[in-house]
Amino acid sequence: MFTIHLQQLRFTGFHGLYPYEKKLGNQFEVNVSILADTAFSSVSTDSPPVDYVDAYQTIKGCMDIPTPLLENLALTIASKLLHQFPAAQKIHISLFKLHPPIQQFEGKVGVEFDVDRSQLK
């Protein structure tokens, strides 16, 4: 088992429940770890079982689609990555809204969870 990390990916997106979030947008941070079930010695130098460039493009594509709930967006990203990479067994994902619409609030809000291949339908 090995893990590929894509960390602190920053995107501008139009995710949220409120109309002004959909209009003005926000900054988001995505962290993804892809746990793959392949022995390192069997990894081909010509075609890795999980390509981080392709994984990034999948994440970016999902972030480009406005989604009301961060939970649904994170689940969509994790599910697409598991479908895209047969060697991937589990995805750990965290997704943060960096400037939430909360008055006098400093920090960020987000969701984090694991999606296992056995959970796919």
pLDDT tens track for 12-40: 999 999 898 889 999 999 999 999 987 55
Strand order across the 26-36 sheet: 2-13, 26-36, 88-97, 109-116
Identify the pLDDT of residue 40: 52
Q: What is the largest CA-CA distance in the chain?
A: 52
60 in Cβ contact with 98 (< 8 Å):
no
| Secondary structure element (H or E) that encloses residue 47, with its range | none
In this prediction the pTM is 0.90
CATH of domain 2-111: 3.30.1130.10
**Nearest residue to 27 (alpha-carbon basis) of 44, 10, 40, 4:** 10
Q: Which amino acid does the sequence have at 3?
A: T
Identify the pLDDT of residue 44: 56
Identify the pLDDT of residue 47: 64
